[in-house]
Structure 1
Amino acid sequence: MTPSTRYDMIILGGGPGGSRAAFDAAARGLSVALVDRDGLGGTCLNRGCIPTKLLLGATAALPLLETQKKLKGAEGHIAFDLPALQQRKDRYVKGTRQALEKRLKAAGIAVYAGEGRVTSGRQGDGDGELAVSAAQADGTEQETRLGWGTLIVATGSTPASFPGLAADGAAVLDSTALLDVTEAPESLIVVGGGAIGLEMADFFSRLGTRITIVEGMGRLAPTEDAEVGDTLRKVYAREGWTIHTGRKVASLATVDGNAVLRFEDGEELTAGKALLAVGRRPASAGIGLEALGATLRGPGWVQTDECLRAAPHVYAIGDVNGRTLLAHAADHQARYAVRHACGDTATPYDAGVMPACIYGHLEAMRVGPTAEELKNAGFSPRVSRSMLIANPIAQAYGTTQGFIKIVWVDGRIRGVTAVGHGVSHLVTLAAVLAGGSGTAVGWTAHDAGNVIFAHPTLDEALEAAMEAPQEPV
């Protein structure tokens, strides 16, 4: 079958990375098609960071008011309407998705809804081919063949599961299903103490749900600085959460309408619902990348070279390549891939210092490597810190738990870690301090004196951490 239409660039996946690549390529005058199977905006907009933040934002006042009650400065009760919150979330997501589609079409980008499958790669100067299968109202499927000069794969990821640990749609749910419930469970077991598990637990805790967190590693937020995990555990334990770390789960299933978790030592936990938040898996199956010479690692991560290429004229960006599973990482990679495909750069991709946050009434933020990671890599890092209890804005909100830690190598900032209320708002400034990417280098302690930090702000905690004594790790 001859392709019906030929495009300079076809992008598989309409999430943050895919849509960014489409806009950038169209702005350069390329003919562009975007093929999406799960709803424009990807996991981030439809089932991930945006709906989660809408729910956390809608209920953010409660922890602050509860703090004021403890400080004898307020009294009263707030009750949230979860169905109403869900309706608002769904309206926002739908409206944003529709607005994105309009913007894509206004930019001259062809949008195809359906499953994309590579049928052939480029041969010499010829185009590659892609088949797009779309379900029709009568139950049949219509296939459209498209030609491409460059292919960008940005198909993202899906919730992970393991033998004995899989969502069943009854009492054991993945994050997608839990985000849509309209009745808060009386109790919730969260398997996975990373960002997804902690954020969902925080939200449902505000609705009165009893929270139990189970994390197989030795601490909460196991990919972060150890002190971050320790701080999160202390605060959440004081709030009544039951926390199990360093324990392996043998099984998790719905039994008589409840979620029942069994540890390897035989102990069982029971709750009204359970969230399985044990990571993500690449959405690479069925695309046909292997036929192009691409290599899939582990559960399907698409291996890429130093320029994000998976095969000749084929790039893999975002979650699917397994480098960094963050929306802004996908966006950053998309910009680079389009530049490289257009011949505007030959320099290998450099992610620089990647920012990341965990949200909630107690947040965590990190830019760059931790001191432990640098030490393991053979460096001799030093650290300096400030405690939020000394910051006037933290005192104003009554949320003084936490700290900011600066990681130094050879007198320059290499990383910044923080935990506490509102610290996500410091992440971009922290990225600047740590040098961003490319040829930029981190600030020195002397550089802090060249910038006026407004008073009173939480930003001053960064200034205080920069000026504090540096200690060896």
Structure 2
Amino acid sequence: MIYDLVVIGSGPGGFDCAVEAAGFGLSVALVEKGFLGGTCLNRGCIPTKLWLGATSAIEELHNQAKMKVASGEVIVDFAALQGRVQKHLTGTRKAMAMQLKKLGIDLFEGQGSLSGEGVITVATAEGEQKVEYNKLVVATGSKPIFFPGLEPDNDCVLDSDMFLAMETMPKSLIVVGAGFIGLEMAQVAHRFGAKITVVDAMDRVAPLEDPEVSKALLSTFKRWKWDVLLQKRVSGVRTVDGKALLTLDSGEQITADKALVAVGRGPVTQGIGLEEAGVTLQFNQIQVDDHLLATPNIYAIGDANGQIQLAHAAAHQAHYVASHAAGKIDAPYASGNVPSVLFGAPEAMRVGAMEHEAFLTDFETCQTSRAQLAANPMAQAHASTQGFIKVIWSGGKVVGITAVGHDVSRLTTAATLIIHQGWTAEDVYSIIFSHPSLDEALLMALKAERKDVQ
């Protein structure tokens, strides 16, 4: 059998692409070397959020205790939490497998590699199987990457995959890398009482975000008594005498029970025959055209093409590729504004342009308006009033929204729609914002006085 479409990788991009293509009437096969769901479900987004959700009451109680309206403690059983995580992942994978079967999608479990024109060889437990295709989607995702000297040893030096698989939470933790992965996992460890040290070569935490967001996050981490060492380069980290030993370029050394190395992720594209099939790789990223095609019959989506490493971006690309492969659309792919969220407490959210990059839109007419969460009743109700919402305007329209503080992730879709629709000052009154709600802080920011970007 020659399949209309074969997808390698079953993460948010690959799985969604296979399902949508089958919905369009294509014959589809899905190749997966590990668990259904890929990194996001099994070793990333979902386990981390289950951790954050289970421990959120600890932070909530701490905030209320500061207001002298509550006392006591919340004890989270880490072993039970890990058991719940595994139960949830197993159930989700089972549901995914049932959906594939219902849609008539053939699942090939094993390492897939390109082995000739229109052929994938899958190394399954029963032996090699040849899978023929008319069109192929590479959705192989990404894996943690490391600089020399920072390689994990699965003892006291861990990557994010190993960290999520721990049986006990350490009492002290070094986090190398102040991006979203490191900061979310550090927050969980902090809630379990771990002493946190964050080290990064950049001059601020969350360096891809608005500098004011970075400043707000750092202020919170310092209140939590974290040691945050910025503009510090790490020469190495290793296990010594049952502890993680980190050495800075300066020669200074830091020890902790564990070290989490979270300096970035890179595409999984090596060793599967891509270049032999005519696919161009640059820094292991598959180079694609405006239709997400690497060759006339090979697409690449998600982390594999390196355009943006977010699960929802991969899923959006999946819909486009399934539609394009089925002949439903022919226009070039357009992602629109892709939202980004740091989860935890505080949270950070952004969509569209940020103030410090406003010159990329229309510097001459860029303005900002803002609101402080301290004025919001829901932030007050949760005793978490630090933070703000900032709106970026250009040409009289909203082109960016950034927020940091309590529960701001819930504003993400509304912010994305506002930017997508290009709201003007008049549009602010086109819908009713509920009261009381965190949404009102967004409304206040939209209505606030605007100031020119300097």
Partner Cα distance (1:30, 1:107) in 2: 10
Deviation at 1:75, TM superposition (A): 1.1
Partner Cα distance (1:472, 1:256) in 2: 56
Identity %: 48
In structure 2, relative to structure 1, the CA distance for the partners of 1:377 and 1:293 (3 Å cut) is farther
1:252 and 2:237 equivalent?
yes
| Structural mapping, 1:60-459, within 5 Å | 60-121=56-117, 128-136=118-126, 142-298=127-283, 300-376=284-360, 379-380=363-364, 381-435=366-420, 441-459=421-439
Deviation at 1:378, TM superposition (A): 5.9
Deviation at 1:249, TM superposition (A): 1.0
1:7 and 2:9 equivalent?
no
Residue identity opposite 1:467 in structure 2: K
Could you list the per-position Cα deviations for residues 56-106 of structure 1 after superposition, in whole angstroms to 9, with x for gaps in the alignment? 101111111111111111111222210000000110011101110111111
Partner Cα distance (2:356, 2:71) in 1: 44
Residue identity opposite 1:471 in structure 2: K
Deviation at 1:182, TM superposition (A): 1.9
Residue identity opposite 1:452 in structure 2: I
| Structure 1 outlier segments of 4+, above 2 Å | 376-381
Q: What SS is found at the alignment partner of 1:98?
A: helix
Residue identity opposite 1:283 in structure 2: V
Q: Paired residue for 2:445?
A: 465
Partner Cα distance (1:215, 1:472) in 2: 32
Partner Cα distance (2:358, 2:120) in 1: 43
Q: What SS is found at the alignment partner of 1:104?
A: helix
Q: What SS is found at the alignment partner of 2:115?
A: strand
Q: What SS is found at the alignment partner of 2:204?
A: coil
Deviation at 1:255, TM superposition (A): 1.2
Q: Paired residue for 1:124?
A: none
Runs of 5+ consecutive residues of structure 2 not aligned to the other structure: none
Partner Cα distance (2:443, 2:425) in 1: 9
Q: What SS is found at the alignment partner of 2:363?
A: coil
2:20–2:322: 8 Å Cα contact kept in structure 1?
A: yes
Q: What SS is found at the alignment partner of 2:333?
A: coil
Residue identity opposite 1:190 in structure 2: V
Further displaced range: 366-375 or 63-72: 366-375
Partner Cα distance (1:383, 1:71) in 2: 32
2:291–2:333: 8 Å Cα contact kept in structure 1?
A: yes
Residue identity opposite 1:79 in structure 2: I
Partner Cα distance (1:374, 1:278) in 2: 27
Q: What SS is found at the alignment partner of 1:434?
A: helix
Q: What SS is found at the alignment partner of 1:365?
A: strand
Partner Cα distance (1:249, 1:405) in 2: 34
Which of 25, 28, 37 is the aligned partner of 1:32?
28
Partner Cα distance (1:292, 1:444) in 2: 49
2:362–2:395: 8 Å Cα contact kept in structure 1?
A: no
Q: Paired residue for 2:15?
A: 19
Deviation at 1:250, TM superposition (A): 1.0
Q: Paired residue for 1:47?
A: 43
2:61–2:73: 8 Å Cα contact kept in structure 1?
A: no
Partner Cα distance (1:213, 1:79) in 2: 25
Q: What SS is found at the alignment partner of 1:360?
A: coil
Q: What SS is found at the alignment partner of 1:200?
A: helix
In structure 2, relative to structure 1, the CA distance for the partners of 1:270 and 1:241 (3 Å cut) is same
Residue identity opposite 2:255 in structure 1: T
Deviation at 1:296, TM superposition (A): 0.6
Deviation at 1:343, TM superposition (A): 2.1
- Paired residue total: 452
Partner Cα distance (2:423, 2:362) in 1: 21
Deviation at 1:442, TM superposition (A): 1.3
Residue identity opposite 1:156 in structure 2: G
Deviation at 1:376, TM superposition (A): 4.8
